[in-house]
Structure 1
């Protein structure tokens, strides 16, 4: 008989690639994780792990067992959800991990809506980048994540997760005011916030901290050879930007790094370089001294994710519905070129 807790341990090791990291995620000691893996290998009669540099990887049998483990753990999530629906109804706490922009755009509105519709549900929100939040869901540290599609993210058909699309947004290029590309074009098209004035090179916002958003798109290839400002490696947006540049035939030279987009824009205003920023991240940002132009291609696709089977949990159904409602409102109110 294979014990479920050992299957969870196997999945954690597969996700984190080292026994030490898996132990930290499971709140166990490395020796306890090693003992569970040894016991699991005895249960199945095969080696499940092999050395891979400083970490470990699954053997062929390990990969087969992991596929079954994902199915078993998803079914257990469904069972827990059905029992919770029968016994507790909609009262309790759920934890959501989300990156900062999405907290303001969809998570906070969803929390506000739930306070009125489902006062028995208490939502705890944790600020975490998309690559961190999905791991937190899989490890059981949180119940749901609002994350970003990026290279290396679990695929849409990943059998460990259930994903709900929320919204997507294009990237804009943020240029110093005296940059040659800032002079091209004349018509302001759109910006996700403030008031758009057409036919001028000025975008007027409520705080008069706007910038020009010229009508024609910038090709990513036009930014080759520039000095770049952007998020740190590991941030999903860094990955989206790097991949867009790779498709355009070059590798961006990041001279300045910050995960705070207001800091990225401030550096661009100081003439330190160019940046690509998700449009909705500019919504509350001081754009004085920069010119913002739409850029062809890259998008930030945002989705909610829970462990497969948990989407039926009575505490998560209202949360996911509220997130989708907030995303619908966002899509209807955010202008686009």
Structure 2
């Protein structure tokens, strides 16, 4: 009989690629993780990991077992959901990890609405970037991640996760008001901060050679911006970095460079020193909620996920900033 605790250890090793990182995710010592792996290899009669530089990778047998592991752990999540539905109903604690903009736009309003509908559900919110929140869900540190699509994110058909689409928003170009591209051809009056017609649309390629302001590497939005520039034929030079988009806009207002910012992140931001221009065929930030596969049926998560969807639907229907 294979111990499911050892299967969780195998998946953590596959996700984190080192014994030390897997141990931290599982709240175990590296020695305990190694012992779990040795015991699992003894149970299946095959080596499951091999060295890969400074880390480890799964052997062929390890990959086979990992596929079954994802199915087994998803089934256990469903079993826990069914038992919880039978015994406790909707009363308990739920942990949500989300990036800051989505906390303000979706998560916080959903928490407020849920408090009125399901007062027995206590929601704890943690600020975490999209790449961090997905790892936190897989490691069991939180129940729900509100994350964004980015290069390297788990695929939509990843059998470890169930996804619930929330909303999608374009990135807009943020230009200092004195920038050469801030003036609209044929317009003599002052350009308003926000775009008002299609003639103001620019392409990412128009910003080749500019100094850029953007999130730090590792932030999913940094990856989206860099990829859009690569597709336009250049590598952006990031001279200034901040994960706070209000700080990014402030730097652009000071003439420090240009930026691309998700449209909804511009809400309630001082735009007096910049001009916002839409991007032709530009990137989008796709936001979704994710839970461990099988957990979407848990009675504590169903009301929260439904409320997140309802809040996101209202957001999509509201006017753009």
CA–CA distance in 1 between the matches of 2:81 and 2:56? 33
How much does 1:335 deviate? 2.7
Q: Is the 8 A contact 2:96 2:142 kept in 1?
A: yes
Q: Of 281, 287, 296, which aligns to 1:311?
A: 296
Tell me what 2:155 maps to: 155
Q: TM-score, normalised by structure 2?
A: 0.96
Mapped partners of 1:185, 1:46: distance in 2: 69
Instruction: Give, in whole Å, the separation in 2 of the partners of 1:322 and 1:39.
Output: 43
Map residues 190-205 of structure 1 onto 2, 5 A cutoff.
201=190, 203=192
In the alignment, what sits opposite 1:225?
Answer: 209
Distance 1:202 1:9, change over 3 A: same
CA RMSD of aligned residues (A): 1.4
Contact 1:214 1:292 in 2 (8 A): no
Partner of 1:213: 195
What stretches of structure 2 of length at least 5 have no aligned partner?
A: none
* CA distance in 1: counterparts of 2:240 and 2:186, whole angstroms: 29
Residue from 238, 251, 256 that aligns with 1:267: 251
Matched, 1:326 2:311: yes
Q: Quick one: distance in 1 between partners of 2:227 and 2:165?
A: 21
Per-residue CA distance 1:92-149 (angstroms, 9 max, x = gap): 0100000000001110111011111000001000000000000000000000010000
- Residue range with higher mean Cα deviation, 150-159 or 53-62: 53-62
Deviates more, 1:178-187 or 1:132-141: 178-187
* 1:129 alignment partner in structure 2: 129
Q: Kindly state the Cα deviation for residue 302 of structure 1 after the two structures are TM-superposed.
A: 0.1
The answer for the alignment partner of 1:57 in structure 2 is 57
Give structure 1 stretches of 5+ with no counterpart.
Answer: 188-198, 204-210
Higher mean alpha-carbon deviation, 239-248 vs 134-143, is at 239-248
Q: Deviation at 1:185?
A: 5.0
Alignment partner, residue 250 of structure 1: 234
Q: Is the 8 Å Cα contact of residues 96 and 126 (structure 2) preserved in structure 1?
A: yes
Alignment of 1:105-124 (within 5 A): 105-124=105-124
**Which portions of structure 1, spanning 4 or more consecutive aligned residues, are displaced by more than 3 angstroms?**
199-203
Please give the TM-score of this superposition, normalised by the length of structure 1: 0.92
Deviation at 1:186? 7.1
Deviation at 1:38, TM superposition (A): 0.8
Contact preservation (8 Å) 2:96, 2:144: yes
- CA deviations on 1:61-102 (whole Å, 9 max, x unpaired) are 111111110000000000000000000000001000000000
Once the 2 structures are TM-superposed, how far is the Cα of residue 200 of structure 1 from its aligned partner?
A: 6.5
* Contact 2:174–2:258 (Cα < 8 Å) also in 1: yes
